[in-house]
């Protein structure tokens, strides 16, 4: 019966394919593996580059993944396809990827499609670590792919923000005044302290080591294009799933999810952000559908273009949402579906006034953090708020580069992918951001962060709503007391307290 089911062109192309994936343990990596197994179940196998972690072997780690929510529909509907995931022990930061000669030969002789997703996403990573993982790691992948006799498509996952000095971010690789080969040699011999000292000058105009190392990696991929069927894929900020494999699925508090959770719990009260600028985000399931269909398109090309194909996985210009719209809708959603045990009533705001922002941070971030930790100390409990506020402050300072600038992404080549797909493939591998209702999607993000990151089941919503009402009353009382104190202080200092009190009949 299974063989009688008609396959779509994309599914047909993936039938019997042997695939190699790096970064399979990451957020996008897991969704990619799940989608390939679920929607392209007749593929031959997927080799996943994995290193041992916390005493667990790569095989044990893959077996543990099946228990995660992201693989729920595989577990329930197609458990037999999970055995097609085959771990390859290795690490992109090791020479020759740390792969054994036997596995290297196996990959060279069988692999037809490669998704290189491995990267350090830490914006604050030291330059040596970012270059080692994102740039040198890419070079090692390219070297391995040069040996693959049956390779039909290699996708290098980059970022839409790797050209911070460009006003318009087009789908092409731009030249850079730094040579990636020189940088790779430099981090190998230079002392880490010396490297840290020169990092700020090296990074200019980049805000962090992540975008810098990714830009260098793109140059390596471009250089290899003459010998490899390769393309570059650049998603914008990747957010929780819209629909697949589970609505709102996310596995970490990185990026906007962390901001929404911290805001929903009343931890973040102010953020530097231009509300009129566009929020350049993309749901992870749409981004992964893009990767899968781009590999199909690349593999189908009879004649490769003169320049390396580049695809910006970003929203269409018809589906742009501003940060202010996100904040307003996010607040309303957070009030309807509140988090448990909030620190304060969630009514933070965004601003471009740095002075006002600093005052808000001192009054509403740091003072409450010191007060809560003081109470914890008095009651003999473990202090935590200062540590959380340090993490929040670092995260906000890194993100403000992206929230205080207008980004103009052009994605004509990416948008053309859908036009070349069949009607059925456009349903199975949808990339249509226009069809997403922003309010519904924000609800999924908040509920996803609530369930999958904070481990707060939906059954606790009634309790959380009662807590929110209590916090609302406390917030109003505290603000009234503070306003009274400020007025009293002003009247006392100016000597107007007595006449004003007498006029109000309070004397």
- 428 vs 194: CA distance, rounded Å: 51
- Asked if residue 395 lies in contact with residue 379, where contact means CB atoms within 8 angstroms, the answer is no
**Distance from C-alpha of 451 to C-alpha of 463, rounded to nearest angstrom:** 15
Structure-token pair, residue 115: 């998704």
> d(Cα 220, Cα 138) in Å, to the nearest integer?
8
Share of the chain above pLDDT 90, in %: 64
* In contact, 90 and 57? CB cutoff 8 Å: no
Q: Six-digit token pair at 209? A: 């080591």
**Chain segment 237-252, per-residue pLDDT in tens:** 999 999 999 999 998 8
b (16+ CB within 10 A) / e for 218-240 = bbbbbbbbeebbbbbbbbbbbbb
Per the CB < 8 A criterion, the answer to whether 4 and 263 are in contact is no
Paired strand residues for 85? 46
Give pLDDT tens digits for 112-125: 999 999 998 787 78
Confidence of residue 464 (pLDDT cuts 50, 70, 90): very high
Q: Is 46 exposed, middle or buried (0-12, 13-18, 19+ CB in 10 A)?
A: buried
**How sure is the predictor about 144, in pLDDT bands with cuts at 50, 70 and 90?**
very high
- Among residues 323, 22, 34, 285, the alpha carbon closest in space to that of 157 is found at 22
CB atoms within 10 A of CB 447: 18
265 within 8 A of 339, measured Cβ to Cβ: yes
- For residue 17, give both structure tokens: 């394919």
Cα dihedral sign, 38-411-326-164: positive
Look-up of token digits 């730094």: 178
> Based on the number of CB atoms within 10 Å of its own CB, is 59 exposed (0-12), middle (13-18) or buried (19 or more)?
middle
pLDDT, mean of residues 202-213: 90
Average pLDDT, the chain: 91
Contact 213, 134 (CB under 8 A): yes
Q: Kindly report, residue by residue over 438-462, the tens digit of the pLDDT.
A: 999 999 999 999 999 999 999 999 9
Look at residue 2 in the predicted model and tell me its pLDDT. 47
Of the ranges 57-61, 103-107, 299-303, 490-494, which is most confident?
A: 103-107
Q: How far is CA 285 from the centre of its chain?
A: 12
* Torsions phi, psi for 281 (to 5 deg): -125, 160
Domains of the chain by range and CATH?
A: 9-251+280-318+407-450 (3.40.50.720), 324-403+458-504 (no CATH)
User: pLDDT for 62-90, tens place per residue?
Assistant: 999 999 999 999 999 999 999 999 999 99
pLDDT of residue 364: 86
**How would residue 107 be classed by pLDDT, with cut points 50, 70 and 90?**
very high
pTM over 0.75? The answer is: yes
Mean of the pLDDT values across residues 416-427?
95
User: 30: pLDDT confidence band, cut at 50, 70 and 90?
Assistant: very high
Task: Report residue 507's pLDDT band, with 50, 70 and 90 as the boundaries.
Answer: low
Q: Quick check: 200 pLDDT over 50?
A: yes
């Amino acid at each position: 019966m299974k063989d009688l089911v008609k396959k779509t062109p994309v599914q047909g192309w993936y039938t019997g394919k042997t695939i190699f994936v790096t970064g399979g343990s990451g957020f996008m990596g897991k969704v990619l593996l799940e989608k390939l197994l679920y929607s392209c179940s007749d593929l031959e196998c997927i080799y996943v580059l994995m290193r041992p972690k916390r005493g667990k072997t790569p095989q044990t780690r893959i077996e543990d993944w099946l228990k995660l929510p992201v693989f729920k529909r595989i577990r329930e509907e197609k458990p037999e396809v999970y055995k097609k995931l085959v771990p390859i022990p290795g690490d992109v930061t090791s020479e020759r990827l740390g792969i054994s000669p036997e596995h290297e030969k196996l990959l060279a002789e069988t692999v037809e499609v490669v998704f290189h997703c491995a990267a350090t996403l830490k914006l604050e990573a030291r330059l040596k670590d970012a270059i080692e993982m994102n740039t040198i790691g890419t070079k090692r992948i390219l070297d391995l792919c040069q040996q693959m006799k049956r390779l039909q498509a290699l996708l290098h996952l980059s970022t839409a923000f790797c050209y911070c000095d460009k006003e318009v971010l087009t789908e092409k690789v731009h030249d850079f005044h730094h040579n990636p080969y020189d940088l790779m040699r430099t981090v190998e011999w230079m002392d880490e302290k010396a490297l840290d000292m020169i990092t700020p000058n090296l990074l200019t105009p980049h805000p962090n080591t992540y975008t810098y190392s990714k830009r260098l990696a793109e140059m390596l991929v471009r250089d290899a294009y003459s010998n490899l069927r390769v393309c570059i894929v650049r998603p914008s900020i990747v957010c929780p799933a819209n629909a697949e494999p589970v609505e709102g699925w996310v596995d970490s508090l990185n990026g906007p999810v962390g901001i929404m959770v911290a805001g929903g719990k009343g931890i973040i009260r102010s953020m530097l952000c231009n509300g009129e600028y566009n929020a350049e985000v993309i749901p992870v399931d749409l981004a992964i559908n893009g990767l899968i269909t781009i590999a199909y398109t690349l593999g189908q090309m009879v004649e490769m273009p003169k320049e390396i194909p580049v695809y910006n996985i970003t929203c269409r210009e018809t589906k742009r949402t501003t940060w202010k719209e996100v904040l307003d809708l996010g607040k309303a959603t957070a009030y309807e579906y509140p988090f448990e045990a909030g620190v304060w009533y969630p009514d933070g705001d965004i601003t471009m006034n740095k002075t006002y922002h600093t005052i808000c941070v001192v009054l509403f971030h740091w003072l409450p953090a010191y007060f809560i930790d003081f109470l914890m100390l008095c009651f003999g409990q473990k202090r935590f708020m200062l540590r959380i506020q340090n993490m929040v402050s670092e995260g906000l300072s890194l993100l403000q580069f992206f929230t205080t600038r207008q980004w103009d992404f052009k994605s004509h080549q990416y948008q053309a992918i859908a036009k070349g797909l069949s009607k059925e493939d456009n349903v199975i591998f949808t990339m249509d951001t226009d069809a997403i209702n922003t309010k519904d999607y924000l609800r999924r993000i908040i509920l996803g962060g609530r369930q999958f990151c904070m481990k707060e089941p939906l059954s606790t919503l009634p309790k959380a709503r009662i807590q929110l009402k209590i916090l609302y009353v406390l917030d109003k009382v505290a603000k009234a007391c503070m306003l009274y104190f400020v007025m009293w202080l002003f009247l006392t200092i100016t000597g107007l307290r007595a006449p004003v009190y007498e006029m109000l009949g309070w004397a």
